[in-house]
């Protein structure tokens, strides 16, 4: 609350002192917000700012104050005035804000980020454990069908902008950011073969085109998560490792690792032979369902957040709106606020 009120007061007074656009407050509710701001700061044992004005207009307004203090013809001076009032509050809030996110992260996934193997387009990669001490893996077959991200993970998570920068550096160094983003999106989309998964990706990635969209967490499809090792001389296994993929992964600014799964009938049933009309039905297999929910539990205990959609609910009318509402709530929860 302290962060939100600090941002609101800062933005509105800077706007009033410059172009006058985008304000949310008026002279009637500014004093109420200042009072609420003081109350929450005192509850946090922080010193509230001293305001030399209490409204936008009038005898005790910001407009009168800047005219009386040689700021009449300088927008920058008015910005500096608001910064001088609210800057110390913003700085004082940074430490408890960081502590809160560190506290949340203590319950997150253990271990450190090393790489992402994802978005296989065609034959699935075969992977072996090359160095058990360093936990290095090696793609021994079909490395050309998948993508491997090995850049350091930024503290604020993995945003679309970082993914595009990696793509430009490793695949298209001669194109601009917009062209690289388009090429990367098309490459990621090709790794999907399920209409519900395609709808989910289209719906989320449409946000990249909006203001600030490149700074949203990147939606990473078909991420290889776990490997059960075999030796490279293990007969029929041919050194390949058992692979398990996540449908989608988000590495959020609050350091959460968010898994999104789109479940089709193959997750809980096996197909029956086609009937006389060539229609394929399925028989429920409790063991398949048990394996799926056991894996969900394992990931949650490891610190991942998991959200599972049924494929059918995304193909029915309203599926796109369902996804839009979900992503709005998800990003509101996980986007780290900045002052």
User: Is there a single domain that holds both residue 307 and residue 225?
Assistant: yes
Is residue 248 located within the same domain as residue 209? yes
Please tell me whether residues 38 and 166 are part of one structural domain: no
Pairing of strands 257-263, 305-310: parallel
Model-wide pTM > 0.75:
no
* Same-domain pairing of 248 and 306: yes
Q: Are residues 6 and 95 in the same domain?
A: yes
pLDDT computed for residue 259 by the predictor:
93
pLDDT on residue 18: 87
pLDDT at 58 over 50: yes
Enclosing domain of residue 17: 2-105
Please check whether residues 64 and 142 belong to one and the same domain: no
Asked if 99 and 120 sit in the same domain, the reply is: no
Average model confidence (pLDDT) for the chain?
82
In a domain, 110, yes or no: no
Last residue of a domain, one of 65, 81, 105: 105
Indicate the residue among 78, 105, 132 that finishes a domain. 105
Same domain, residue pair 96 and 127: no
Crossing angle of helices 177-189/160-170, nearest 10°? Answer: 90
State the pLDDT at residue 137.
67
Query: Is the four-CA dihedral 68, 70, 75, 79 of positive or negative sign?
Result: negative
**239 domain residue, yes or no:** yes
Band (pLDDT 50/70/90 cuts) for residue 129 is low
Please tell me whether residues 101 and 191 are part of one structural domain.
Answer: no
* Statement to judge: residues 184 and 308 lie in one domain: yes
Co-location of 49 and 136 in the same domain: no
pLDDT, tens only, 304-318: 899 999 888 998 999
Contact by Cβ (8 Å): 139, 146: yes
Highest mean pLDDT among 44-53, 107-116, 258-267: 44-53
Q: What is the mean pLDDT of residues 43-72?
A: 89
Indicate if the pLDDT at residue 271 is higher than 60.
yes
| Number of structural domains the chain divides into | 2
**Boundary residue ending a domain (76, 105, 134):** 105
Are both 207 and 94 inside the same structural domain? no
20: three-class secondary structure by DSSP: coil
pLDDT the model gives residue 130: 64
pLDDT for 135-162, tens place per residue?
A: 566 776 777 889 999 887 776 789 999 9
């Amino acid at each position: 609350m302290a962060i939100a009120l600090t941002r609101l007061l800062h933005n509105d007074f800077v706007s009033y002192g410059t172009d006058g656009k985008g304000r949310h407050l008026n002279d009637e509710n500014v004093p109420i917000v200042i009072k609420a701001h003081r109350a929450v700061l005192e509850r946090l044992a922080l010193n509230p700012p001293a305001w030399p004005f209490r409204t936008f207009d009038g005898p005790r307004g910001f407009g009168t104050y800047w005219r009386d203090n040689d700021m009449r013809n300088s927008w920058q001076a008015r910005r500096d005035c608001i910064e001088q009032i609210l800057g110390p509050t913003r700085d004082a809030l940074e430490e408890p804000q960081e502590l809160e996110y560190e506290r949340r992260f203590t319950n997150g996934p253990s271990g450190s980020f090393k790489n992402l193997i994802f978005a296989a387009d065609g034959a699935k990669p075969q992977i072996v454990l090359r160095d058990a001490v360093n936990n290095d893996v090696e793609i021994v077959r079909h490395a050309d069908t998948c993508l491997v991200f090995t850049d350091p993970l930024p503290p604020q998570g993995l945003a679309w902008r970082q993914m595009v920068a990696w793509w430009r550096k490793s695949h298209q160094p001669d194109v601009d950011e917009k062209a690289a983003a388009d090429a990367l999106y098309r490459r990621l989309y090709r790794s999907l073969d399920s209409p519900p998964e395609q709808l989910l990706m289209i719906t989320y990635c449409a946000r990249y085109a909006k203001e600030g969209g490149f700074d949203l967490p990147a939606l990473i499809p078909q991420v290889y998560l776990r490997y059960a090792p075999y030796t490279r001389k293990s007969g029929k296994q041919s050194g390949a490792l058992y692979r398990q993929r996540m449908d989608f992964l988000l590495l959020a600014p609050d350091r959460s690792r968010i898994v999104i799964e789109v479940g089709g009938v193959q997750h809980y049933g096996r197909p029956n032979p086609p009937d006389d009309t060539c229609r394929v039905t399925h028989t429920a297999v409790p063991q398949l369902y048990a394996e799926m929910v056991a894996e969900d539990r394992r990931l949650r205990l490891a610190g991942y957040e998991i959200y599972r959609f049924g494929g059918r609910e995304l193909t029915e009318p309203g599926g796109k709106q369902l996804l839009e509402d979900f992503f709005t709530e998800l990003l509101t929860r996980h986007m780290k606020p900045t002052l």
